[in-house]
Amino acid sequence: DIRSLGCEEKRELLATIEQAVAFVTTMIFQDGSSQLSSEQVLTSSVKGVVVLVKNQTDHPCPPSYSSIDYTWNAANENDKLIYLKTEWSSLWEQEQQAHKKFAWQVLFQMLHCKVPIICFNAKDFLRTLLQVYGNEISWKQVADSVVLDPRIAAWLINPSDTVPSFESLIQKYFEKPFSMGTVNTDTGTLRNASVSTLKLFFLIYLYQYQNLRVNLEKLYNVMRYLARDLQVQGLWKLFCTLELPLIKILAVMETHKIHVNTQELKKTSDILGLRLKELEQEAYQVAGGQFLLTSSSQLREVLFEKLKLHVLCEKVHRTEIQQLVSTSEVVLNKLQDLHPLPKIILEYRQVHKMKSTYVDGLQTCIRKGFISSTWNQTGTVTGRLSAKQPNIQGISKHPVRITKKQYIKGKEAEIVTISPRTLFVSKKGYSFLAADFSHIELRILADLSSEPELLKLFQEPETTDIFSTVASQWKGIPSEEVKHADREQAKRIVYSVVYGAGKERLADSLGITPLQASQFIESFMQKYKKVHEFTKKTIEQCRNKGYVVSIMGRKRPLVNINAQDYKLRTQAERQAVNFVVQGSAADLCKMAMVEIFTSVVISPTLTARLIAQIHDELLFEVEDSQILEFSALVKRTMESLQQTTALEVPLKV
């Protein structure tokens, strides 16, 4: 405990840190649990940080192939365990101020000495530091730290393991499961012994931290095993140059708060609520009875048993599990002309989604007028990021029009447009800047397949509308005669190929029969033969190796690729094709994040901060005076990734 150290001892400690070869660290929560506990309690606040300082020179990390000793090597006497309290009752006392200052001194040195800091869920650790020491540091100061996160390493090795716990990693790498002793396992026997209360607390304290020391040693060793695995599997570079820097970027992102217009939020909630009531009444009228509009099973009863609408319509989509007639958007669209109810339901659903998710749902995420999403780096199998509370990646783009009846004032009606994205407001003197890759997945498909027609499309500067051009090329009609419907169809088919969708899925999305859909796919593949070759080759490689690889070497094992079962096998085939395209796009977007972050950190003047990543789009908050300079930097950096990754196809932002 650094609070018990004298002046000389403090100096010694800093000297030890200077000599360290690695730090293994975890946060300690109020309830005594740590980041290594299986159930991470978010409600419990952070009490402090425990750091195991590795001083042995025998196990450098990152390790080399040859000189790793894989034997269990727990109690290393030269390793130092230090405890830093980060929570203070009051900062009035001089003593507490001094403790906080020294704790920061220790952490600052750790972050800046380029020695790896090993931490399970490192993002949470860094974010907490930024929050606790927010006044004495700027976010740029975490940038040159070197953090290693075993969880991310494990996820890279197998992305299907979406949340590998510390315990599961221990089990996997040390075969026999360890007893994860917790603080309160043995207090009973302690209580029975005739020891004084003070002594008891001391014993619990000691036990807890000895246990923690063992776990940190285990964590260190697990990281070494994982590092070796990453190297063997060719994932080490991806880990070091992309995923590790991203930890810091996400930690910084989570400390940034976005202001929300709460008054507007309340107002729109009421407007939407009123509209829902109106639609509810209209629905009851035309249905000839009341039912729960939000219940798809009750709606199914009304539409298909009471009104028998589906018999007038051929080939309606069915639900996945129970194989019942679906009440989804595509089906309701087909039923529109037969009865007024489907149209009402469609609008009801749109308005209800808007209210429940983007207005009322957003309100539950607001703390003191601000929101900040939680970013999950290991939440997907394709390498993409995911966000929650709120899911800022899923906020509706298109506005919803509402005809608001105004009874009070003389006006008859007023049309209000509600677009959720306008509810977020930038800081005063700052603006939001969005930069997105144009058609990145299609460009990647062009590159991966080397399809000449597709490549030409992107390389020729006169191509203004990619899907119109594809439509004209594919259907063999002049570009002036391409209708809006042709363009939409081309877009759907292109993305069906990108997403690896089968004929059934395409049929649903286009509202046609699976036979017609398969004919569309076939004629598309006939025109762009190399794309077909690419999908065939990808599936073939997956069959041989058991996994597929993205452009940056990200892997996805697909065990079902050789399955007997047709459904499972073809699903795995689509997943294989999809992973290569989607995963590669994720690689590029992450690279853009890292490069832009680095540029801003290096720059003494730029202050732009990343707010969100919506897969192919980066959203920043930029000082108004820097918008021109920064937007040029962003565009240049993103487009230059073509050279960095040796892509045949240019990237456009």
Partner DNA sequence: ATTACGACGCTAGG
Partner DNA sequence: CCTAGCGTCGT
| Binding residues vs DNA (CB under 7 A) | 162, 292, 294-298, 300, 319-322, 324, 326-329, 332, 346, 349-350, 352-353, 356-357, 360-361, 364, 376, 379-382, 384, 386-391, 393-398, 499-502, 505, 571, 574-575, 578, 582, 614-617
Of 51 and 501, nearer to DNA (C-beta) is 501
CB of 155 to DNA, least distance (A): 10
**Strands (DSSP E) along 377-499, which ranges?**
386-388, 400-405, 413-418, 424-425, 430-436
Q: What are phi and psi of 249, to 5 degrees?
A: -60, -45
Q: Which residues pair with 21 in a beta bridge?
A: none
Instruction: Return the amino acid letter for 147.
Output: V
- Dist CA 48 CA 34 (whole Å): 10
Give how far Cα 395 sits from Cα of 21, 44, 346, Å: 44, 29, 19
CB of 331 to DNA, least distance (A): 7
- Dist CA 317 CA 640 (whole Å): 44
CB of 343 to DNA, least distance (A): 12
- Dist CA 177 CA 584 (whole Å): 36
Q: Is residue 616 a contact partner of residue 585, using CB atoms and an 8 Å limit? A: yes
Of 380 and 642, nearer to DNA (C-beta) is 380
Q: CA gyration radius for the chain?
A: 29
CB of 569 to DNA, least distance (A): 11
**What is the chain's percent helix, strand, coil content, to nearest 5?**
55, 15, 35
- Dist CA 249 CA 593 (whole Å): 8
Of 278 and 623, nearer to DNA (C-beta) is 278
Of 234 and 394, nearer to DNA (C-beta) is 394
Of 382 and 584, nearer to DNA (C-beta) is 382
CB of 540 to DNA, least distance (A): 18
CB of 222 to DNA, least distance (A): 23
Of 440 and 601, nearer to DNA (C-beta) is 440
- Dist CA 173 CA 221 (whole Å): 9
- Dist CA 24 CA 34 (whole Å): 13
- Dist CA 164 CA 150 (whole Å): 9
- Dist CA 227 CA 238 (whole Å): 12
CB of 70 to DNA, least distance (A): 32
CB of 530 to DNA, least distance (A): 21
Of 356 and 516, nearer to DNA (C-beta) is 356
Of 28 and 446, nearer to DNA (C-beta) is 446
